Amino acid sequence: MTLIANQNTQKEPERVPIYEKVTLTIREAAEYSNIGINRLETMLKMPRCPFVLYVGKKKLVKRREFEKYITDRIEIWNHCKCGFL
């Protein structure tokens, strides 16, 4: 009797829950906050955005700073016309 080694022995990496991540993708931040992707992209483009992290051309959201930003606001609207901070 010959035993055949299973070639699929590699385990998939465990997924880190969003609430434990240091940074989030725009899609994750949208899901996490229930703020639309387009609105988040606009917010991340603003000068002095406290929760954006640039990795090359990619933009990530610093989760803790993003949470603080949301907690400190009572509304988020079109910041393009009124200034960001």
Look up tokens 């609105």; give the residue.
Answer: 39
Map out the domains of the chain with their CATH numbers: 19-82 (3.90.105.50)
Q: What is the pLDDT along the chain (85 residues), one digit of tens a residue?
A: 555 555 666 778 888 998 899 999 999 999 999 999 999 999 999 999 999 999 999 999 999 999 999 999 888 775 544 444 4
The two structure tokens encoding residue 60: 């990530």
CA 29, 33, 39, 42 dihedral sign is negative
**Could you say which DSSP state residue 51 is in?**
T
Token pair for 52: 């954006």
